[in-house]
């Protein structure tokens, strides 16, 4: 009796997934940098020449600062772009996924700036994206004033908590869906069914929008899939739902990079492969039935069940 009760309690315990938010943000910013700028910095976006690919610089530029953070992981990007007037522009993007306020955050942002500037003497535009729903009161500027020596360094901070969910849903900007998913990460932490409904609705709306390129859709799906993890039963249910959506668009399915697709897309591809093979076996069985071969032989050749063959026979 006691063993049964313990087993029941273990089964009811929610599954805890470890989400690599830093890695996901790094990847999606790299994959969708143009969309990232369009959402968070539209004025700068208008001056960038995207006919020339952005250059993501080596992360070693952050190593000295990273060591001071005592092993804490960061999601940072330094991106070199060309402007429409031919000038070169460096863009520093820092993603902060921690929930607590940090007194030294503004000082760290200044250190990033001056170390990059001191080494490379490049103009730098700096962004900090706060992904937590914690009401972060972090300052968006660094001030130093000591016996007449003063310094003021300001940068742009965007806080996910400040964006309205309804406006994000209505927005046609692709990166609004990334921000929306980041908001729902915390809101649906202990509500698997609610998270499933949200993922299903969001994925369907994205894939049905003809304005989004297929490679961009794949990048968003990858972020959403790994950020908003689901229990296995709901993952399978979501994959079946997306198969029914994507199955109507065979050309769309073929455009996805199967080797780098999100888990939901991988499952949909597997479902498509299985269904395709099954359809081929049905065609073979029909031909064999027309030639009046024994049902047992047809079962052996096609690996279809007796019920499936009888259905075809009828």
Predicted confidence at residue 170, as pLDDT, reads 92
- Domain spans in the chain, listed from the N-terminal domain onward: 18-162, 274-313
Predicted confidence at residue 198, as pLDDT, reads 92
Predicted confidence at residue 310, as pLDDT, reads 74
Residues of the chain above pLDDT 90, percent: 23
Predicted confidence at residue 257, as pLDDT, reads 59
Predicted confidence at residue 15, as pLDDT, reads 46
pLDDT, tens digit, 9 for 90 and up, residues 285-312? 677 677 666 777 766 766 667 777 777 7
- Give the chain's residues under pLDDT 70: 1-18, 58-75, 98-102, 134-138, 247-261, 268-280, 285, 288, 291-293, 298-299, 301-304
Q: Name the pTM for this structure.
A: 0.76
The distance of Cα 105 from the centroid of its chain, to the nearest Å, equals: 26
């Amino acid at each position: 009796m006691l063993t049964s009760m313990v087993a029941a309690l273990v089964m009811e315990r929610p599954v805890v997934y470890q989400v690599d938010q830093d890695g996901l943000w790094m990847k999606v910013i790299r994959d969708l940098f143009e969309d990232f700028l369009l959402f968070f910095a539209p004025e700068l976006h208008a001056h960038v020449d995207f006919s020339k690919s952005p250059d993501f610089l080596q992360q070693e530029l952050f190593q000295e600062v990273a060591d001071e953070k005592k092993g804490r992981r960061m999601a940072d990007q330094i991106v070199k772009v060309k402007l429409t007037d031919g000038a070169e522009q460096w863009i520093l993007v820092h993603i902060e996924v921690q929930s607590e306020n940090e007194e030294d955050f503004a000082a760290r942002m200044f250190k990033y700036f001056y170390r990059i500037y001191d080494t490379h003497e490049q103009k730098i535009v700096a962004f900090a994206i706060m992904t937590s729903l914690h009401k972060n009161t972090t300052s968006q500027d660094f001030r130093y004033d000591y016996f007449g020596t003063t310094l003021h360094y300001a940068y742009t901070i965007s806080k996910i908590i400040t964006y309205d969910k309804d406006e994000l849903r209505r927005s046609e900007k692709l990166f609004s869906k990334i921000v929306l998913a980041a908001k729902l990460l915390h809101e649906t932490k202990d509500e698997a069914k609610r998270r499933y409904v949200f993922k299903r609705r969001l994925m369907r709306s994205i894939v049905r929008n003809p304005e989004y390129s297929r490679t961009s859709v794949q990048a968003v799906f990858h972020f959403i899939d790994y950020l908003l993890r689901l229990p296995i039963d709901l993952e399978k249910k979501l994959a079946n739902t997306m198969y029914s959506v994507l199955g109507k668009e065979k050309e769309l399915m073929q455009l996805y990079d199967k080797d780098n697709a999100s888990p939901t897309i991988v499952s949909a591809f597997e479902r498509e492969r299985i269904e395709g093979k099954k359809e081929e076996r049905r065609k073979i069985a029909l031909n064999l039935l027309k030639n009046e071969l024994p049902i047992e032989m047809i079962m052996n050749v096609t690996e279809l069940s007796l019920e499936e063959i009888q259905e075809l026979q009828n």
